[in-house]
Structure 1
Amino acid sequence: MDNWEDVLTAQEAGHLLGISTERVLQYARGGRLSHVRKGKQYLFSRQDVEQFKTTMQPRGRPARRDNKSCDNTRIRLE
């Protein structure tokens, strides 16, 4: 992280990623998001955060399957 002009705090990185500050810190502590510690503060390169954003999985629940795509039709045997 040579260019200190493009340094983000955890809060700024969270805002850019659309996630909470705590989640950013979890990613940093877990080694998924590159960072530098300065005292108690976590600092992130804007370039690293933007690159990480492209690798993030979509949030939320998976799309719901509609019943038409399933073949649950019952056949009546007489």
Structure 2
Amino acid sequence: MAIYLVVRLAYETEDEVTYQFGGADHRFDRAVTIRKADYSVTVVDGRQDAMAVGAAGLAMRRHRIDGVWAKSEIRQS
């Protein structure tokens, strides 16, 4: 089974970032918020499924590598 995940930065404050995410349908109707201080994650709709975990992980991985919060990111596997 292939996974296609796209995250895009919805907004950023001094304390947190929020990313909208979606799959192949490009409906960005879900979001995760990540606290910058400790990388704690809140899934806006409360559904902590593989897509939400993947979206948060993708954003945090990019931040750890580059030191910036990416505007968008795509993962295909």
TM-score range, shorter chain: under 0.3
Which structure features the higher share of helix residues?
Answer: 1
Taking structure 1 as the reference length, the TM-score comes to 0.23
Bigger-Rg structure (1/2): 1
